[in-house]
Amino acid sequence: MSQTDGKILEGGCLCGAIRYRATGQPSDVNYCHCSQCRRHSGAPVAAFATFAAADVTWTRGQPRLFASSDIGRRGFCPDCGTSLTWQGVKTPHEVDLGIGTFDDASSFRPKDHIWTESGIRWFHVADALPRYRRSRKEG
């Protein structure tokens, strides 16, 4: 069983206007160091859990989507601004949920770091996880 042990996981934005439920198992959990994730999250690195879009239900409200690039859209709360999602244009069957938006963020343990080539030079995560200059596919 995965790190979530088959639990139903819930989360939402800071103000409570948006709530969601994720079931099933995340197919991936990672840290992303790209400049867009940094800007979207306001943090030196973002952490996401990837779920099948069919396994994510918005139980209160809906995120507002923003086309942040030609490859992806980001979801956020229009009331409080909480960063909630990333969804690839070529992978609409998946949705990345920001780990920090889960009620129990400790349910997840990232497996690797992606887009490290654009990471902040002074920020270092002291772990032994694999690191990829870009995506896993691009190395």
**Interval 21-33: pLDDT, tens:** 999 889 999 999 9
Tell me: the pLDDT tens digits for 107-135?
899 999 999 898 998 998 889 988 988 87
Condensed to tens digits (0 to 9), the pLDDT of residues 62-98 reads 999 999 999 999 999 999 999 999 999 999 999 999 9
Output b/e per residue, 37-48; b: 16+ Cβ within 10 A: bbebbeeebbbb
DSSP state string for 75-134: EE-TTT--EEEEEETT-TTEEEEEGGGBTTGGG----EEE-GGGS-TT----S---B-SS
Domain boundaries, the chain: 9-118
The first and second tokens of residue 93, run together, are: 């069957």
Q: Give the Cα separation of 41 and 55 in Å (integer).
A: 23
What fold characterizes domain 9-118?
2.170.150
